[in-house]
Amino acid sequence: MQKRQLIVLVALCIGFVTVSYGQGRNYRIQNGFGIYGGITQYDILTDNFTTKKGNGWQAGASATVDIPHKWYNVSYTIQLSENHVGISSRPLPISLNEEFVDYKIFTAQVALLMHVKLIQSFLTIDVGPMIQYNGDMEMDDKKYENYIINSYDNLLAKDLKDITNFNVDGAIGVSAGYAFFRLKAQYIYGFTNMLNKLNDSNLDLTGNDKKIKGNQSMFAFTAMITF
């Protein structure tokens, strides 16, 4: 149901059509549509765990309003990504060996972005808010599920699952291109504590009783084709 609501919202955004009139003269405002895909580098910024960045993929669609008489354009985007992050753990309570357990996190993001024109529409700075739905953390390999998370005495790798599913992000990036092709680099920071739900899961936090807090950090590098 949550994913269906996101799809409906994006469909409304993509169907957006604009007509605008300036003072004493008409301006032609063009609407465009693009699809894009690329790679991501993902991390969770937290003092509770030792993490390792992981790579993933991203695909999305964008509906753009090109405003020729303004210093900016506007776009509505939806993007889906599968991301990976490692969390430091050990196989036994007294083990000195450190291994990173890999987790997978699926995200769906809806954004309203402003594109500040540096060289007309050929080079822009892109900035704006995002609403994100993400799934729970899934272990890539179940054989590590009984590993103990470092900094804790009894917290198991399989316990790190139920995280906050709706979050608010901010995005900033740069895009460059000509005609129907663009390259994009984007950084996405999570303003909300995506690990907050773990505090309500009755986990055994012996050894580190600090409140669990973590913010998403994602880099995305994509190529877009516009129509």
Interval 136-154: pLDDT, tens? 999 999 999 999 999 999 9
Q: Which domain holds residue 94?
A: 2-11+32-226
Q: Encode pLDDT of 58-85 as tens digits.
A: 999 999 988 888 999 999 999 999 999 9
Structure tokens at 144: 């590590």
Considering the domain boundaries, does residue 20 fall inside one? no
Quick one: what percent of the chain has pLDDT higher than 70? 87
What residues does 88 pair with on adjacent strands?
100
pTM value? 0.85
Give, in degrees to the nearest 5, the angle at Cα 91 between 89 and 96.
75
**Given 3-state DSSP classes, what are the helix, strand and coil percentages for the chain, each rounded to the nearest 5?**
10, 55, 35
Inside any domain, residue 152: yes
Residues 6+ apart with CB under 8 A from 5: none
| 21 belongs to a structural domain | no
Query: DSSP state, 50?
Result: -
Please, what is the average pLDDT of the chain? 89
CB 176 within 8 A of CB 123: yes
> Do the Cβ atoms of 224 and 182 come closer than 8 Å?
yes
Structurally, the chain folds into a number of domains equal to 1
**pLDDT band per the 50, 70, 90 thresholds, residue 32:** confident
Report yes or no on 182 lying in a domain: yes
User: Does residue 47 lie within any of the structural domains?
Assistant: yes
| Residue 114, domain CATH | 2.40.160.20
